[in-house]
Amino acid sequence: MDYTINWILIAEIVYAIILGLVCLRIIYDTRSTTKTLAYLLFAIFVPIAGMIFYFFFGINYRHRKMYSKKLYENDDIANKFRQDLLQYSAQTLQENGEAVLSNKELAFMVLNDSMSPLTAKNSLKLLINGEQKFPELLAAIKSAKHHIHIEYYIYEDDEIGNAIADALIEKAKAGVTVRFIYDDFGSRDIRKKLVPRLKENGVLAYPFLKVHFILFANRLNYRNHRKIIVIDGFTAFVGGINISDRYINGVKDKQLYWRDTHLRIDGPGAQYLQYLFICDWNFCSEDVLQPDVYFFPKPRAQKNSEANKVVQIAASGPDSESPTILFSILQAINLATKEILITSPYFIPGESLLDALTIASLSGISVKLLVPGVSDSILVNSAARSYYKDLLKAGVEIYQYQKGFVHAKTMVTDQKIAMIGTANMDFRSFDLNFEVNAIVYDTEIACQLTKVFYEDIKEARKIDPIAWDARPMYKQLLEKAARLLSPLL
């Protein structure tokens, strides 16, 4: 009798069992049906590597929230705070203009989903490109009296990065508390020199989700893509512009024109950004900050006579119960009656957003989409292009920016609602990254951003639906193949 052990057969059985368990884990743990199918196919048809990829990149942290955003330990205080927010938001809704009232469903959806209040009496300023943002930011930093909170995905050790670091150090030496959160992957270039220099001069600095070799891929998947600055709980900056020389056009030896948008907020609208920063700080630092009057000051009278803008902050990530930013975009599209203008550097919409835009366009609403003509990711750009045919067929106008790289993440509906923030219109921003958008309920700001959009499309090429459909079959096939990977990009 032959007792030779068939190790190959045993290995195949063990592998089949492991694969079965991984597939069950994918089915149970993955929220999106599309992503579930993508991970299943990858695990089954790419032996071993497919399973490793899932465990590195596919774990759903929304089912096991990465950290709690609860600032109040006492539930009675928390409930009282919740009631105050509801009352304040309802009052803001009633006391302000038609832009707010006609989009009240959006305001209450964000409020109920994330307890982000609808705030009034804000002064707002659109900042176009780094040329406008950085001088404004440096002046605001120099005016700080109590604290500066800064949180960035990309912070580079270059000219503007060092100029801002010098300003932060100067304020720290003057007694202002400076807290700095940097994404450990996006800002990896500042770990060795700039961060130690900040710390040596009194700045409190911590990485968000520090990348260790063993956990590298998994932590790489969940990045803090936010760009937040809050000064004295009253002045805040949010938008798409990171701290890097590349965002400043016209500097020496700079080749690619970089088109981006940011927003300055002075007023109560800064306070939810402050809340987000403190939650992120408590997660990644050794401190536990508590709400106090310095972080959340009472509204004060402003010299600016136009300080009457209504702002709400939408934020989401692996720490949130639901994809608040995606929901806010879908609701804004649903409420639009005339026009929807979208600018996004990475456009991989998924079924829900694709359907919403298609329905809007087929309903007679003018839908215009501005995307890069030149992208910094060939694979992402190919996946994005695979969605254009369906949108063009529905009547959506798509423009490819030609002057340089468009990195702005904005949306305007009916010249009443303006969204400016950090979230791209893709799976990663809606489901994986920590993101934040400002929603402005104001016709003046919405009209300003509308004007910016129409100036931008003067530098863009409009896609001809007939010519697009007639492109070589191999190009369309490659784009559809890239689309299969879109839930994983």
Task: Please give the pLDDT value at position 37.
Answer: 82
pLDDT at 75: 54
pLDDT at 56: 65
Tokens 């490793």 locate to 52
Nearest to 344 by CA among 365, 377, 382, 372: 372
* Number of C-beta neighbours around residue 338 at 10 A: 11
Distance (Å, whole) CA 168 – CA 164: 6
Report pLDDT for 71.
59
Angle between helices 159-173 and 129-142 (to 10 degrees): 10
- Annotation says 407 is catalytic: yes
Q: What is the pTM of this model?
A: 0.87
Predicted pLDDT at 377:
67
Options 407, 416, 431, 456, the catalytic residue: 407
Q: How far is CA 11 from CA 15, 19, 46, 54, 448, in A?
A: 6, 12, 17, 21, 64
Query: Which of 113, 232, 245, 319 is the catalytic position?
Result: 232
Query: Which of the two residues, 157 and 17, has the higher pLDDT score?
Result: 157
Of the candidates 171, 409, 416, 431, the residue annotated as catalytic is 409
Q: Is the pLDDT of residue 274 over 70?
A: yes
pLDDT in tens, 229-265: 999 999 999 999 999 999 999 876 667 899 999 999 9
The answer on pLDDT for 15 being more than 70 is yes
Q: Say yes or no to pLDDT of 4 above 90.
A: no
Which residue among the candidates 414, 426, 442, 456 is catalytic per the annotation?
A: 414
CA separation for the pair 31, 281 (Å, rounded): 28
* 414 catalytic per annotation: yes
C-alpha to C-alpha distance for 405 and 256, rounded to whole angstroms: 7
Q: How confident is the model at residue 84 (pLDDT cuts 50, 70, 90)?
A: low
Catalytic residue among 69, 121, 225, 416: 225
> 434-485, pLDDT tens digit by residue?
999 999 999 999 999 999 999 999 999 999 999 988 888 887 778 777 777 6
Q: Look up 227 and say whether it is catalytic.
A: yes
Known catalytic residue at 232: yes
Report the alpha-carbon distance of residue 93 to residue 108 in Å, rounded: 10
- The phi and psi torsions of 316 (rounded to 5 degrees) equal -160, 165
**Structural domains of the chain in order of their starting residue, each with its CATH number:** 7-57 (no CATH), 75-96+123-308 (3.30.870.10), 324-488 (3.30.870.10)
* Mean pLDDT on 2-25: 78
pLDDT of 150? 98
